[in-house]
A = this chain, B = another copy of it.
Amino acid sequence: MTQDFRIGVAGLGTVGAAVVGMIARRAEALAAATGRRIAVTAVSSRDRNRDRGLDLSGIAWFDDPTALARSAEVDCVVELIGGAEGPAKATVEAAIAAGKAVVTANKALLAHHGGALAQAAEARGVALAYEASAAGGIPVIKALREGLPGNEVSRVYGILNGTCNYILTRMEREGLTFEACLKDAQALGYAEADPTFDVEGFDTAHKLAILTSLAFGTAIDAEGVAVEGISGVQPLDLTMAEELGYRIKLLGVAQRAEGGIEQRVHPTMVPKSSAIAQVMGVTNAVTIDADAVGELTLIGPGAGGQATASAVVADIADLAAGILRPTLGRPAAALAPAARVEMARHEGGYYVRLTVHDRPGVAAGVATRMAERAISLESILQRRVEHAASEDPHGRSGRPVPLVLITYAATEGTIRAALEAIAADGLLAEAPQVIRIERE
Spell out A's residues near B (CB within 8 Å): 18, 22-23, 26, 29-30, 32-35, 131, 137-139, 142-143, 146-152, 217, 275, 278, 290-301, 306-307, 309-310, 312-314, 317-318, 321, 323, 325-326, 329-331, 334
Q: How far apart are A411's CB and chain B's nearest CB, in angstroms?
A: 30
CA distance A364 to B137 in the complex (A): 50
Could you say which of B293, B306, B314 contacts A306, with CB atoms under 8 Å apart? Answer: B293
Given known pairs A275-B278, A309-B150, the reply for A294 and B33 (CB within 8 Å) is no
Q: Can you report 7 A-B residue pairs in the complex whose CB atoms are below 8 A from each other?
A: A26-B149, A33-B330, A139-B148, A139-B296, A150-B309, A278-B278, A293-B301
Residues on B with beta carbons closer than 8 Å to the beta carbon of A32: 217, 326, 329-331, 334
B142 & A313 in contact (Cβ 8 Å cutoff): no
Pick from B131, B152, B292, B309: contact of A137, CB below 8 A: B292
CA of A299 to CA of B317, assembled, Å: 25
Q: How far is the CB of A430 from chain B (nearest CB, A)?
A: 36
- Tell whether, in the assembled complex, residue B313 and residue A149 are in contact, meaning their CB atoms are under 8 Å apart: yes
Docked-complex contact A317 and B142, CB < 8 angstroms: no
Give chain A's interface secondary structure class. mixed
Q: Smallest distance from the beta carbon of A100 to chain B beta carbons, Å?
A: 20
Q: Which B residues lie within 8 Å of A331 (CB)?
A: 32
List the B residue with the shortest CB-CB distance to A26. Answer: B150
Q: Which residues of B contact A292 (CB under 8 A)?
A: 18, 22, 137, 306-307, 309-310
User: How far, in Å, is A310 (CB) from chain B's closest CB?
Assistant: 4
Closest 9 CB pairs of A and B: A150-B313, A139-B147, A32-B330, A137-B293, A292-B310, A296-B300, A292-B306, A149-B317, A297-B299
Contact check, A314 vs B142: say whether CB atoms are below 8 A apart: no
CB distance from A7 to the nearest CB of B (A): 12
Nearest chain B CB to A288 CB, angstrom units: 9
Q: How far is the CB of A327 from chain B (nearest CB, A)?
A: 12
Q: Which of B23, B26, B293, B310 contacts A310 (CB 8 A)?
A: B293
Inter-chain CA distance A321–B22, complex, in Å, is 29
Q: Does B309 lie within 8 Å of A138, measured CB to CB? A: no
A149 lies within 8 A of B300 (CB): no
Q: Which of B294, B301, B314, B323 contacts A149 (CB 8 A)?
A: B314
Whether A296 contacts B299 in the complex (CB less than 8 A), given A278-B275, A310-B150, comes out as yes
B137 near A146 (CB under 8 angstroms)?
no
Per the bound structure, the CA–CA distance linking A426 and B255 in Å amounts to 64
Chain B residues lying within 8 Å of A33, measured Cβ to Cβ, are: 149, 325-326, 329-330
Task: Tell whether, in the assembled complex, residue B22 and residue A314 are in contact, meaning their CB atoms are under 8 Å apart.
Answer: no
A301 to B291, CA, bound (A): 12
Q: Pick from A35, A143, A150, A318 the residue with the most CB of B within 10 Å.
A: A150
Assembly CA distance A24 to B131 (angstroms): 30
Additional 14 contacts, C-beta under 8 A, given A292-B310, A294-B307: A26-B152, A29-B152, A32-B330, A32-B331, A33-B149, A142-B146, A142-B147, A143-B143, A146-B317, A148-B314, A150-B314, A151-B310, A293-B306, A297-B297
